């Protein structure tokens, strides 16, 4: 089994790069957020689950904390046993391996790092440009979610709230994600070029020395 785990702030293009990378390498692509939405379908998906338990515990953050525990359990006991004989590109949500719920995030990160190569995707070397790039992508995701009535955590945020959320999440997570990463890739060109850059870097590792 070979597994490549893509990490990075929301909106940097992990899913798009991951799908292209999986196609080029003939690997299975797993969008962890989508798998979790399906797993929690009876609870209304990720947002429904966190809202339900947040209301029960009278604290929204406690709902998210319970979700992180559920996510850790899912990755270790359900997802990984089901893919242990496959080659996989795993696209992690922005806060999966580094979040305010430090214990759960660290346990998830430690488990995944023991099984895979961590690739951090960034939108630009300049942090301000990165934040602006992420903000532009999140605006598109928000409008698409509103139009198509899809689940999206930031759907009710106005432009100012969305920008502050993007900026705050990026500044909080980027240092921790960089400390976890085996390599950092800038996704500011064509998606195909980004995928090829990752493959080139991976070929330097023992992982692909015979490919």
Give pLDDT tens digits for 155-194: 889 999 999 988 988 888 888 999 999 999 998 778 889 9
Residues 53, 172: Cα–Cα separation, whole Å: 25
Average confidence (pLDDT) over 51-74: 88
Give pTM, 2 decimals: 0.83
Residue 52: closest CA among 42, 9, 85, 188: 42
Instruction: Measure the CA–CA gap between 80 and 73, rounded to whole angstroms.
Output: 10
Residues 102-130: pLDDT tens digits? Answer: 999 999 999 999 999 999 998 877 888 88
How far is the C-alpha of 162 from the C-alpha of 152, rounded, in Å? 12
* Residue carrying structure tokens 């899809």: 150
How much of the chain, in percent, has pLDDT values that exceed 70? 96
Q: Position of tokens 């390498």?
A: 25
Residue 56 banded pLDDT, cuts 50, 70, 90 = confident
* Number of C-beta neighbours around residue 175 at 10 A: 9
Pair of tokens at residue 144: 């698409």
Contacts 24+ apart (CB under 8 A), 44-47: 45/151, 46/151, 46/153, 47/151, 47/153
31-36-37 Cα angle (round to 5): 100
φ/ψ of residue 7, rounded to 5: -125, 165
Q: Do 140 and 16 contact (CB within 8 A), yes or no?
A: no
Contact 162, 135 (CB under 8 A): yes
Residue 210 confidence (pLDDT) above 50: no
Counting other chains too, the contacts that 200-209 makes at CB distance below 8 Å and 24 or more residues apart are: 201/119, 202/4, 202/117, 205/117, 207/2, 207/117
Report H helices in the chain. Answer: 14-25, 32-39, 45-56, 60-74, 80-83, 102-115, 127-148, 159-180, 191-202
Question: Sheet harboring 3-7: ordered strands across?
Answer: 28-31, 88-91, 3-7, 117-122, 183-186
Per-residue model confidence (pLDDT) at position 208: 55
């Amino acid at each position: 089994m070979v597994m490549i785990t893509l990490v990075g702030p929301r909106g940097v293009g992990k899913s798009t790069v991951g799908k292209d990378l999986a196609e080029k390498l003939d690997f299975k692509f797993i969008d962890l957020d989508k798998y979790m939405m399906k797993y929690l379908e009876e609870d209304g998906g990720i947002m429904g689950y966190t809202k339900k338990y947040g209301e029960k515990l009278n604290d929204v953050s406690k709902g998210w904390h319970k979700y992180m525990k559920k996510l850790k359990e899912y990755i270790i006991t359900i997802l990984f046993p089901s893919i242990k004989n496959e080659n996989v590109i795993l696209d992690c949500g922005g806060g999966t391996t580094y979040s305010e719920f430090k214990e759960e995030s660290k346990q998830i990160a430690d488990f995944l790092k023991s099984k895979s190569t961590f690739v951090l995707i960034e939108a630009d070397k300049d942090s301000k440009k990165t934040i602006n790039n992420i903000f532009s992508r999140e605006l598109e995701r928000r409008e698409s979610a509103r139009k198509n009535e899809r689940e999206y955590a930031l759907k009710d945020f106005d432009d100012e709230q969305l920008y502050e959320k993007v900026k705050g999440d990026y500044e909080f997570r980027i240092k921790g994600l960089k400390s976890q990463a085996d390599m950092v890739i800038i996704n500011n060109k064509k998606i195909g070029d980004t995928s090829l850059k990752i493959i080139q870097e991976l070929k330097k590792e023992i992982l692909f020395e015979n490919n």
